[in-house]
Amino acid sequence: MRVLAVDDERIILDDFVEMLQNMEEVTTVNAFTDCERALEFIASNDVDVAFLDINMRGMDGITLAKKAKVIKPGLNIIFLTAYPEYSLEAMKIHASGYLVKPATVEDVRKELKDLRVPVDENNECRLKIQCFGNFEAYVDGYPIPFKYIKTKELLAYLVDRRGAYCSNGEILGALWEDKEVTLSLENYLRNLVSDLRNVFKENKLDKVILKKKGMIGIVPSQLECDYYRWIEGDPIAINAFNGEYMSQYSWAESTLAGIESKVMM
């Protein structure tokens, strides 16, 4: 079950996220103190349940819930608040649940078992990507068996680009740097693209790759990635960053520099 939590009190949010991460029903947790960033995440990622604080600075939880419902009508909203007087207003927007702080594990588990919109557990993200340290890619917990070693680097580059379409020329320049582009090299890249698409097709992950003439990209919502979670401010991903990012690829150094600059802020 993919869960999102929003609370403008960081300490309270971190404690609640830790609770969720220790629950077997929950597969992924993304947490935000900023409502606008939470909405952006909901718009581009699969989320089954959103735990929202109501009384927040700026945008309140009721307003956030209404906007989230416009983006994803089937999203289960569970309010978590210290103010029980908001329960009537929460019911008006057809919230799935309402919990008064401090909520216990038993309270949360009960709400997750009685969701307004049932969650299909078969929708769990099967493609897992590791960017911190060396780049690794797994399907159902197993390393992806690409036909070509270079296919793995192609996937890494597309993950790094986070959904942006990449031209063949851009990819050739990144993966082979100063090497002269020849017809043979262009054909090799086509083989890599074919290998990448075939592997995902065989694993019934056809929606991961976007392809149009001379360009290719990925759909970020179709994979789980430590780097993407780091961007969204997930505390676990932040702690997982060890100063290394796709260490085996020299072209990844620019992204690493960007991460390090934000870490130092």
pLDDT digits (tens, 9 = 90+) for 138-154: 998 889 999 999 999 99
Tokens linked to 173: 């320049």
> Cα(193)–Cα(211) distance, rounded to whole angstroms?
9
Q: Report which secondary-structure segment, H or E, holds 127.
A: strand 127-130
pTM of the entire predicted model: 0.56
**pLDDT value, residue 117:** 83
> Cα(196)–Cα(186) distance, rounded to whole angstroms?
15
> Cα(67)–Cα(205) distance, rounded to whole angstroms?
30
C-alpha closest to that of 247 among 153, 141, 150: 153
**pLDDT value, residue 159:** 97
Identify the segments of the chain with pLDDT beneath 70: 86-87, 90, 120-124, 265
Chain centre distance of CA 7: 19
> Cα(192)–Cα(147) distance, rounded to whole angstroms?
8
pLDDT tens per residue, range 105-132: 999 999 999 898 887 655 567 899 999 9
List of domains in the chain: 2-123 (3.40.50.2300), 127-263 (1.10.10.10)
**pLDDT value, residue 206:** 86
> Cα(175)–Cα(157) distance, rounded to whole angstroms?
8
**Residue 27: Cβ-neighbour burial (10 angstroms; 0-12, 13-18, 19+):** middle
Find all residues with CB under 8 Å of 29, minimum gap 6, and list them.
3, 4, 5, 17, 20, 21, 234, 236
**pLDDT value, residue 131:** 96
Around Cβ 179, how many Cβ atoms within 10 Å? Answer: 10
Quick check: 86 and 62 in contact, CB under 8 A? yes
What is the crossing angle of helices 105-113 and 10-21, to 10°? 60
